[in-house]
């Protein structure tokens, strides 16, 4: 084999190695976004998503302001506004969604979020007030596409109508799994389990009060699409 052939072969091997490295890096970067895989969006990325299960069905979108924060909004039609399976009634919720990236790496990720908004826990009454869910999600990335997620959520709600001022505080935690199909599509399952705690009183000077706790949970399948 003459020197010219050796140089060409060596160049071809280097080009193939560079292409493989670039492809692997691109695939890793493609996994660095998601809905419940503990990765926020990078700057100027836009994601739309839908969730369905208990306690309702929701649609939303997120936009990356930077590599550390993304913002968006979510609308939900609810049939389990207090997260307890024995209380089924139609309602709705509208929230802003602010996600703050704390850790973002090839193996582990972490973000915190707060979602201020308004909520009809039920249209009957009605029970209407301020919602301010907050929490965090930690992701373990088995591959750039597959993530096991562990999350903590506190969907805080302050009711202001229906003759009673009360709070509903459901601290819940649980796992989820997200898988990316190609560069722009993610599918997953998100779960949370815990207590739903209520405390408050009746308005109008009657002096009555109440408090109680029960089992609460979230179980939702979801679809997310990164538009750009």
DSSP track, 81-107: TTS-TT--B-EEEEEEEEEEEEEE-SS
Contact between 115 and 136 (Cβ < 8 Å): no
Among candidate residues 138, 160, 171, the one with its CA nearest the CA of residue 36: 138
134-174, pLDDT tens digit by residue? 999 999 999 999 999 999 999 999 999 877 788 999 999 99
Domains of the chain: 31-226 (2.40.160)
For CA atoms 159, 98, 91, 75, the dihedral sign is positive
pLDDT score, position 131: 97
Residue 116 predicted with pLDDT over 60 = yes
pLDDT score, position 203: 53
Task: Tell me how far apart the alpha carbons of residues 91 and 167 are, in angstroms, rounded to a whole number.
Answer: 17
As a whole number of Å, the CA-based R_g of the chain is 23
End-to-end CA distance of the chain: 48
Residue 53 predicted with pLDDT over 90 = yes
Pick 168 or 10 by higher pLDDT.
168
- What is the chain's mean pLDDT, rounded? 87
Query: Is residue 212 very low, low, confident or very high in pLDDT (cuts 50, 70, 90)?
Result: confident
């Amino acid at each position: 084999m003459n020197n010219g052939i050796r140089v060409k072969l060596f160049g071809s091997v280097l080009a193939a190695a560079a292409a493989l490295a670039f492809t692997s890096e691109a695939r890793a970067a493609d996994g660095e976004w998601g809905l419940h895989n503990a990765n926020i969006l990078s700057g100027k990325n836009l994601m739309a998503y839908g969730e369905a299960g208990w306690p309702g069905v929701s649609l939303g979108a997120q936009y990356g302001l930077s590599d550390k924060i993304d913002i968006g909004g979510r609308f939900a039609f609810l049939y389990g506004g207090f997260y307890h399976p024995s209380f089924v009634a139609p309602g709705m919720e509208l929230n802003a969604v602010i996600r703050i990236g704390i850790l973002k790496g090839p193996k582990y990720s972490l973000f915190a979020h707060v979602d201020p908004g308004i909520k009809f826990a039920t249209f009957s009454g009605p029970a209407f007030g301020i919602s301010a869910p907050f929490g965090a999600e930690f992701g373990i990335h088995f591959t750039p596409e597959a993530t096991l997620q562990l999350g903590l959520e506190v969907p805080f709600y302050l009711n202001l109508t229906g003759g009673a001022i009360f709070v509903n505080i459901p601290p819940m935690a649980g796992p989820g799994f997200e898988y990316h199909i190609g560069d722009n599509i993610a599918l997953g399952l998100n779960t949370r389990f815990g207590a739903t705690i209520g405390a408050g009183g009746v308005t109008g000077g009657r002096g009555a009060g109440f408090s109680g706790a029960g089992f609460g949970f979230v179980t939702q399948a979801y679809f997310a699409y990164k538009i750009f």
